[in-house]
Amino acid sequence: MNTRVILSIILISFGSIAAILPKQKTSSVQLNADELLREIRLETNLVSTDELADLLINLDPGIMLIDVRDSIEYSKYHLPGAINIPLKQLLDEKWMPYIDQISKKNIFYSNGTTLSSEAWILTRQLGYQNNYVLYGGLNRWFETIIKPSHPGSMATSVEIEWFNKRKAASMYFTGSSNATDLSSAPALPPVPRKKKKRVAGGCS
């Protein structure tokens, strides 16, 4: 994503924060676009489709896939085991145990990267750190994992190795006889962060 698109997402997200949060909370939100932009440029918030494929194939219990598209798109297709939290509902109280938790690595995804990046910016701005973005979203998932293209006759051994790995992953996710059906795998509930206890007495 180029800088202009990133900045646009940040500005839109900041507006969304102000609109979504209750009035008594918005005044305490510290908006720091520079810090968010720095993290985005370092790409420490991204998970590649190859990484995700490995995690799913190995049935890693430490991830939670969160589809931030609307429920109609989610019902048509979603990644194995993903839960659906539409972007507009992301900061609803009922979803906080999923967004603010310590047991799992949340991976937001959408068709591309725009919606999921906005979800990450919203949550990161509020101090939630265990959230990431699937780079390229479902579009890249289909390009690299479900329907990988052969690199061609002039490909290097490394490119061939990557293609073979992706082809094997494709067979796994599209119905190979040796594949485990992950589409119905239940999303285990997260472990919420412990809220700090208020000290008795003193000024309110």
- Domain encompassing residue 139: 3-173
pLDDT of 149 above 60: yes
CATH number, domain of 60, equals 3.40.250.10
- pTM here is 0.73
Of 8 and 162, which is predicted with more confidence?
A: 162
Q: 172 near 57, Cβ under 8 Å?
A: yes
> Would 203 be classed as within a structural domain?
no
Picking from 114-118, 134-138, 144-148, 184-188, which range would have the lowest pLDDT averaged per residue? 184-188
Over the stretch 175-191, which tens digit does the pLDDT of each residue have? 854 444 444 444 444 55
Is residue 197 one of the residues assigned to a domain?
A: no
Top mean-pLDDT range of 6-20, 32-46, 74-88, 121-135? 74-88
Within-domain flag for 192: no
Q: Establish if 201 belongs to a structural domain.
A: no
The answer as to whether 127 is a domain residue is yes
Sign of CA dihedral 71, 126, 116, 179: negative
* Total number of domains in the chain: 1
pLDDT band at 153 (very low <50, low <70, confident <90, very high): confident
* 92 located within any domain: yes
185 in a domain, yes or no? no
φ and ψ of 69, to 5 deg: -80, 175
pLDDT at 3 over 70: no
d(CA 60, CA 46): 17
DSSP secondary structure of 95-157: GHHHHSBSSSEEEEE-SSSHHHHHHHHHHHHTT--SEEEETTHHHHHIIIIISPPP--TT--H
* More confident position, 31 or 132: 132
Give the pLDDT score at 50: 96
53 or 31: whose pLDDT is higher?
53
Summarised one tens digit per residue, pLDDT across range 37-85 is 776 777 788 999 999 999 999 999 999 999 999 999 999 999 999 999 9
Q: In what order do the strands lie in the sheet with 105-109?
A: 46-47, 131-134, 105-109, 63-67, 83-84
> Helices (H), strands (E): how many in the chain?
9, 5
Task: For strands 105-109 and 63-67, give the pairing.
Answer: parallel
Average pLDDT, the chain: 78
Q: Is residue 199 part of a domain?
A: no
Greater confidence (93 vs 182) lies with 93
d(CA 176, CA 77): 19
**For the chain, what percent of residues have pLDDT higher than 90?**
51
